Amino acid sequence: MPSDAVLDAVARLAARDMTRTEADLQADIYLLLTSGSLALDSAQVVRLEVPTGDGTRRRLDVEVGHCVIEVKKDLRNAGVRRDAEQQLAGYVATQSQRLGTRYVGILTDGTDWYLYNSTPAGLMQVASLSVGAAATDAERLLVWLEAILATQEAVRPTPEAIQRRLGASSPAHLLDHASLALLYEQASSIPEVELKRQLWSKLLRTAFGKAFSDDQRLFVDHTLLVLTAEIIAHAVVGFDVSTTGDLTPAALAQGVVFSGAQIHGAVEADFFDWVLHVEGGPEFVRQLADRVARFDWSHVEHDVLKVLYEEVIPQEDRASLGEYYTPDWLADRVVASTVTDPLNQRVLDPSCGSGTFLFHAVRAYLTASDNAGVASAAAVAGVAQKVYGIDIHPVAVTLARVTYLLAIGRDRLSDPDRGPLSIPVYLGDSVQWEQRRDLLGGVNEVRISTTGDELVEGGGGLLFGDDLVFPRRVLQDAGNFDRLVNAMAEKVLSRSTRRSADLIAPVLRQFGIHPDDASIITNTFDTMRRLHAVGRDHIWGYYARNLIRPLWLSELDQQVDVLIGNPPWLRYSKMTAAMQDRYKDLSRERGLLTGRLGASGRDLSTLFVVRAVELYLKPSGRFAFVMPHGTLTRKPHDGFRSGRWGGDVAVQFAEPWDLTRAPTGFPMVSCVIRGRSRPNTPRRLPANALAWSSRSRNPNMTWETAKDGFTTIPVVLSVLDDDNLPPASPYKRRFRQGAVLAPRALLFVEEAPSSPIGFGAGRIAVRARRTAFEKAPWKGVQTIHSTVERAFVRPVHLGETLVPFRMLDPLRAVLPIGPKGILEAGRIEDYPGLESWWKEAEETWQAHKVESDDSSLLQRINFHSQLSAQVPAGSHRVVYSKAGNSIAAARLNESQSIIDHKLYWAAVSGVEEARYLVSILNSTMVLERVRPLQALGLFGGRDIDKNVFAVPIPSYDASDKDHRELASLSLEAETLATGIDLTAVADFKRARRIVRQELVRSRLAERIDEAVARVIPPVETTAE
């Protein structure tokens, strides 16, 4: 807590007391900086009214280190702020030039604080903060200033400290990102920098498909992350990374001292050292290193690099790419249960991310070594032969390598007896998408493609020419292969004019290359020389050495004993067309595409696990993977659950873990599947599972701190497969989903004020109905206004206009629907009002839709004929809710309304059949039968869809007294629901609860359930 003097100073600053002078404000800022526990060092003396030293009479209000604070009495006036910014821009430019380093400016009136960075175009604001008089405001202001000034020493790298000082919202990060973005703009045209970004883009498109966008901002964020991680790697092993240390920026970004210390593969020249090639880049690395040096990296208990990644990359970006890393406590438990003999089992995480599983696997090995009395140096050498990681994400690989160092720890790394150490974490494609052959066959060479986005674009797009080809024999010793590629790269850099065959001959002899392989190596060397000639050689040695590792690990004599991890959950719909084709081929061959559902309802995780077991796991080896919860129960995954995956690839599944009630931080519920590789003797995934739950909902916990709050209980899962589904109701084929009327900002309307003289018969003024729930990019589009023919403003029912036994007032939308169906584009022109609206809506749709979507707005709203199927509509329809924790159904007895995709609908023969169906759909008994069939979301059952018709609801029979009774009870329920005043209830979910409560209170719900029980007898289901 700040001192009373500091609290008083912040209260005075925040008060905007106009009787106070700028000198008074400066004095309080001086007190804040000198007494606010900021731990300023000798180079960060706080000075007031400092001459600029440029021969003018100008003075800096407050200077501290490489930061100037310009003070004004009140910045709410735009003119005052504009003048102050111009004044501050001059100060920052002058001081930056005088000091030869980054110099930043802060503008404040005590209440509002603005941080600026200097750019060639002038001053740019990068962060801001507003404070009040509360104690918490004083603390926030001090944290904000400390992040900019980087003053405190020996800060423990806890998740909270990482967030406050390096996270995406911290002013330090915003300043660093702005500076780095300017550097990239200068460097982007350099051929080698361009190549590095292209390769980065290719790898991420392979990992994330269409969800990845080759975005400069993301490349800059990734560069910042990697540089930070590489600096942390140096600090972890004990190097002084601050400006007082001896390490140059190039040494920090390229790992020179690691090579000198015989630690290989920790920090290397990679995709992100481009910053060294641009003026100002080395200085940027120094400043970043100074900030990192403020932490104490000697003892780390968390996967801090995961925390850093999740703090720096915005949540919406991670969500779009499906990037959600495993919580520390869960990785700990998976490793503990699967790695049963750490000293003797070789462990691989084939999708290692930032290295959370690797961290715990390394710690498990080292603990076992200590218990067995193994010397520290021997333990370090041993762990690198036992714990491996692969990931196709170049940022994740760098973070995981540093995490590996953190897991080993400084004390072991600095052991004088430690020998050479290669960090076994590799950049590679674990699925081996681009290998069009059986890797376990007799092929004699492997290829590293230098073409464009071959996998993700489906061929073509040649970047450079020939592939880099290596004989299979050179892979037998991975370390030797690394050294061979390094030697080839060094020869390329020699700039010799000799023939390639003559230049490479000594290397071939040095590495004992087989005579039959010499020509292959020579041709590859020649390709590398040609790449060098066009300025594109620097990265290829790194690229080849890493991408070859999955091939090496898939050799029979290199396969591992244990596979662990969290595979990518990339949805099929997010894959590119080429990936989708390859996915279907690989999945079909392995029995993963069972039934009639095809590939559309699936994701990559199951294929990834199958490929990992097939390629990397020894017979009888163990595996455990974190998966989407649907893997345990949903019908699309029945082929995976069989354990028989084509050829002689088969597994025996063990009891899975149900994580529905466990804190994971994932955007969906998850599970852990476990088992052993057992070629030719599969065992299905059992329905008996172990359910984990915790009193805490915070996923960012270590197991040691969280274990007392966890409980586990056995549960039986409701598994959907062809042998475990009850007979379907005849109503299943009659219901269909409503139309996708989106984006709503272009379709839904409200009436606009009328003209004093009206608009003529049959026309109405409307404007787009805008809400706070709109998402980008639609929340930013212009609101459409027009006068439209009334016939085209149709009532629309959505989930929010439905409560049990009652339809609420519909919304309205402009839809090009005539009496006989949807108007074709040419017919819309016949109606001037409709044409005016639709033209603007279509133009807005084309300007903001997803790039890969080639549909018109008209095609969009009639997806799968879901709109045209409703025209003309019957006089009697039943609708029910698509999703949620409960089912709501009601009768619709008019033909003009359109049904949105959040509802399912069917036309029925008459009022009695409609009421019969509505009673059954609203019943508690049907809901209880549907719940086990629902996919699970974070808040319970998510999708009702047509699962409701797995309950064998019989067709309406007017001669059946129970059917007639249900219709009669439905009429009573309609009367009750209609009589409830819901006008003041804005939330439709609350409105549904109110109606249900009244149905229960009146005992109507109970009477309906009793009648439904007579109509639909209990159905026996069998567990797997």
Q: How many CB atoms lie within 10 A of CB 960?
A: 14
Of the listed ranges 149-153, 170-174, 692-696, 892-896, the one predicted with least confidence: 149-153
* Whether the Cβ atoms of residue 364 and residue 567 lie closer than 8 Å to each other: no
Q: Determine the pLDDT at residue 431.
A: 87
Average pLDDT over residues 878-904: 92
Cβ-proximal residues to 359 (8 Å cutoff; 6+ apart), any chain: 303, 331, 403, 404, 406, 407
* Whether the Cβ atoms of residue 912 and residue 967 lie closer than 8 Å to each other: yes
pLDDT band at 933 (very low <50, low <70, confident <90, very high): low
Q: Determine the pLDDT at residue 44.
A: 76
pTM, entire model? 0.71
Residues 824-880 have pLDDT tens digits of: 888 999 999 999 999 999 999 999 987 767 889 999 999 889 999 999 888 899 999
Tell me 717's DSSP state. Answer: -
Q: Determine the pLDDT at residue 944.
A: 76
pLDDT at 558 > cutoff 70: yes
Of the listed ranges 205-209, 656-660, 922-926, 991-995, the one predicted with least confidence: 205-209
Average pLDDT over residues 776-799: 93
Residues 278-308 have pLDDT tens digits of: 988 999 999 899 888 888 887 776 667 777 8
Average pLDDT over residues 810-835: 91
In three-state secondary structure terms, 823 is: coil
Assign 3-class secondary structure to 467-535: CEEEEHHHHCCHHHHHHHHHHHHHHHCCCCCCCHHHHHHHHHHHCCCCHHHHHHHHHHHHHHHHHHHCC
pLDDT at 532 > cutoff 80: no
Question: Which of 274-288, 449-463, 546-560 has the highest average model confidence (pLDDT)?
Answer: 274-288
Alpha-carbon span 486 to 496, nearest angstrom: 17
Cβ-proximal residues to 134 (8 Å cutoff; 6+ apart), any chain: none
Question: Which of 330-339, 919-928, 948-957 has the highest average model confidence (pLDDT)?
Answer: 330-339
Higher pLDDT, 9 or 600: 9
Higher pLDDT, 680 or 183: 183
In three-state secondary structure terms, 900 is: strand
Average pLDDT over residues 1009-1021: 79
pLDDT at 1024 > cutoff 60: no
| Mean confidence (pLDDT) of the chain | 86
pLDDT band at 395 (very low <50, low <70, confident <90, very high): confident
Q: Determine the pLDDT at residue 834.
A: 94
List the one residue out of 569, 630, 673, 564 whose CA is nearest residue 323. 569
List the one residue out of 389, 383, 384, 319 whose CA is nearest residue 357. 389
List the one residue out of 781, 338, 775 whose CA is nearest residue 565. 338
Alpha-carbon span 168 to 970, nearest angstrom: 55
Residues 179-197 have pLDDT tens digits of: 899 999 999 988 888 878 8
CA angle 23, 28, 30 (to 5 degrees): 90
In three-state secondary structure terms, 241 is: coil
Residues 963-987 have pLDDT tens digits of: 999 999 999 999 999 999 999 998 9
Residues 630-664 have pLDDT tens digits of: 899 888 899 999 999 988 899 999 999 999 889 99
Alpha-carbon span 903 to 68, nearest angstrom: 59
Share of the chain above pLDDT 70, in %: 89
pLDDT at 573 > cutoff 60: yes
Q: Determine the pLDDT at residue 726.
A: 55
Q: Determine the pLDDT at residue 540.
A: 65
Q: Determine the pLDDT at residue 460.
A: 32
Of the listed ranges 242-246, 424-428, 815-819, the one predicted with least confidence: 242-246
Question: E strands of 109-254, at which residues?
Answer: 112-119, 122-130
Higher pLDDT, 38 or 855: 855
Residues 577-605 have pLDDT tens digits of: 888 888 998 999 999 987 655 666 688 99
pLDDT at 942 > cutoff 80: no
Average pLDDT over residues 483-499: 79
Average pLDDT over residues 912-923: 95
Residues 50-102 have pLDDT tens digits of: 887 767 778 899 998 888 999 999 999 999 999 999 999 988 888 887 777 77
pLDDT at 455 > cutoff 60: no
